[in-house]
Amino acid sequence: MIELHRSPRELELQARTERFIREVVIPYEQDPRIEHHGPSDALRRELQAKAREAGLLAPQVGEDWGGCGLNHRETATVLRACGYSMLGPVAMNCMAPDEGNMHLFQKVMTPAQQERWLRPLAAGQIRSAFMMTEPDDGAGSDPSMMATSARKDGDTWVIRGRKWLITGAEGAGVAIIMARTEHGATMFLTDMDTPGIVIERTLGTIDRSMPGGHAVVTLDDVRVPADQVLGEVDQGFRYAQIRLAPARLTHCMRWWGAARRAHDIAVDYACRRKAFGKPLIDHEGVGFMLADNEIDLQQSLLTIDWCAWVLDQGQPGTHESSIAKVAVSEALYRVADRCVQVLGGLGVTEDTPVQQIFRDIRAFRIYDGPSEVHRWSIAKRLKKGWQPG
């Protein structure tokens, strides 16, 4: 049975994270180094230095890599607190895609690969990218359509293809490249300055919380040594599931914190602002929206913790993370949307972070699998498990 009790260590980390976000990170939210595609590298390094001083840098990774060795449920508690500012995950080095990549690196990398790439990534010395999604008729929600290919040439692999919506590619130090090989797909590790990797452009998108933005990348005969295969050849789709189930859930954790921030701002505004002789919250049209926010937030929190518990039992969590991704992403979008409505004109200005939280959370319903694809996957599993009565 799922355990709702939180350990003293978990509660201490939550309190320390909340204090760090409130006292250190939130004052940076108007920093001019927050650009259209997210915080600049200089700002990222400055914030991460402060997180390191607070003992909160990459808390989700193992102690061997400088973290706290949290399980999934503990990670949920800390990342929800961290997400209260959209700069929080950047400051604590637990933002996408780096957090998901670190999880995979701990599971699959060889010791030599870990020293070369995981250690500096966990320390905030470099960023990373995960290259799977493709434009046009390539791999999007259906990775079996992957057009990027890798062929063996002696002791190296030669990769050719095109990727897009690659988060953090601009300025990254290392990338995982997914490419089709003879009997499936394979993940390859490579430094981003490897010849043949060309960033065509960084896309203009509605979100702005992830350093480096989202890029279109051409892979023009990129040569990767055989010892830079991540895991085993032809097992890329299997490793993608190792990465994606927990990564879907950590998105839910971080954005829960952001939605909670928007809700707190809306509640404060509704209690202070008066219209027609009484505070806005006393008008049912506003008060009911805030009540619905509270319900959505609590249900989302319980869904996140349930899925985290499943992962902590050693189960893959594929089905459960699909359920959580759909339920939480849509609930948090409703929360953010209501907050904009409660704030009225203020809600569409940059005087509060609510409008940007709304924009970023809207994107959350698409990345790491849109709601429709997850519903399709859930339905497929229902059919597979069906037994005629």
pLDDT tens string 117-128: 999 999 999 999
Handedness of CA 58, 332, 135, 152 (dihedral sign): positive
Average pLDDT, the chain: 95
In the prediction, which pLDDT does 53 show?
97
Fold of 237-385: Butyryl-CoA Dehydrogenase, subunit A; domain 3 (1.20.140)
State the Cα torsion 117-159-247-380 to the nearest 10°: -150
Asked if pLDDT for residue 271 goes beyond 80, the answer is: yes
Mean pLDDT confidence for 275-286: 97
Q: How far apart are CA 297 and CA 287, in angstroms?
A: 15
Based on its alpha-carbon atoms, the radius of gyration of the chain, rounded to whole angstroms, reads 21
DSSP-assigned beta bridge partners for residue 131: 177
In the prediction, which pLDDT does 345 show?
97
Work out the pLDDT band at 137, boundaries 50, 70, 90.
Answer: confident
Asked if pLDDT for residue 32 goes beyond 80, the answer is: yes
Fold of 128-234: Butyryl-CoA Dehydrogenase, subunit A; domain 2 (2.40.110)
349-378 per-position pLDDT tens digit: 999 999 999 999 999 999 888 999 999 999
Beta strand ranges found along the chain (DSSP E) = 34-35, 38-39, 128-131, 149-153, 156-167, 174-181, 184-191, 197-202, 214-225, 229-230, 274-275, 278-279
Considering only 17-21, 59-63, 203-207, which range has the smallest mean pLDDT? Answer: 203-207
203: DSSP letter: P
In the prediction, which pLDDT does 37 show?
83
Q: How far apart are CA 198 and CA 222, in angstroms?
A: 10
Share of the chain above pLDDT 90, in %: 91
211-252 per-position pLDDT tens digit: 999 999 999 999 999 999 999 999 999 999 899 889 999 999
Work out the pLDDT band at 23, boundaries 50, 70, 90.
Answer: very high
Pick the CATH number of 8-95 from 3.10.50.40, 3.20.20.150, 3.40.605.10, 1.10.540.10: 1.10.540.10
Reading the block at residue 99, the tokens are 């957090």
Considering only 10-14, 15-19, 365-369, which range has the smallest mean pLDDT? Answer: 365-369
Asked if pLDDT for residue 265 goes beyond 90, the answer is: yes
Asked if pLDDT for residue 132 goes beyond 90, the answer is: yes
Tally of CA atoms within 13 A in the half-sphere of 23 that contains its CB = 9
Work out the pLDDT band at 140, boundaries 50, 70, 90.
Answer: confident
In the prediction, which pLDDT does 178 show?
96
In the prediction, which pLDDT does 244 show?
86
Delimit the domains of the chain by residue range.
Answer: 8-95, 128-234, 237-385
Work out the pLDDT band at 330, boundaries 50, 70, 90.
Answer: very high
What's the pTM? 0.94
Q: How far apart are CA 333 and CA 336, in angstroms?
A: 5
